[in-house]
Amino acid sequence: MASNPTHGIDLEPVEERIADLRRKVETLMEERVTPAVSRAAGRAQDFAGQIGHTAQKEADTVATLVRERPFTSILLAAGLGYIFARLLGR
């Protein structure tokens, strides 16, 4: 005959306590965690937008310089290519 370890023990208060804790955790998630995550996501999105804008502005500046000084740009690109090739041993 197998013994039942919960025989004679009232588990209802424990189950009620677990259900209460679950409700409290869900409330905490809704009131605190979800808004904090939303704010962090909004800040990250703003930051990404600023980075994208800055990168586009710098790319436009470089494109303008290349159009204004094509010969200098070609010499600079060739010089950098030579330096990288030497550094990489090729």
- Say how far apart CA 67 and CA 51 lie, in whole Å: 24
Q: Please tell me the predicted confidence (pLDDT) of residue 1.
A: 40
The 3-state DSSP composition of the chain as helix, strand, coil percent (nearest 5) reads: 85, 0, 15
- Say how far apart CA 78 and CA 81 lie, in whole Å: 5
Segment 5-31 mean pLDDT: 83
- How many residues would you count in the chain? 90
Segment 10-38 mean pLDDT: 87
Show the beta-strand stretches assigned E in 1-90: none
| Residue reference for tokens 């030579």 | 82
Please tell me the pTM assigned to this model: 0.50
Q: Please tell me the predicted confidence (pLDDT) of residue 28.
A: 84
Q: What is the pLDDT of residues 46-87, one digit of tens each?
A: 999 999 999 999 999 999 999 999 999 999 999 999 999 999
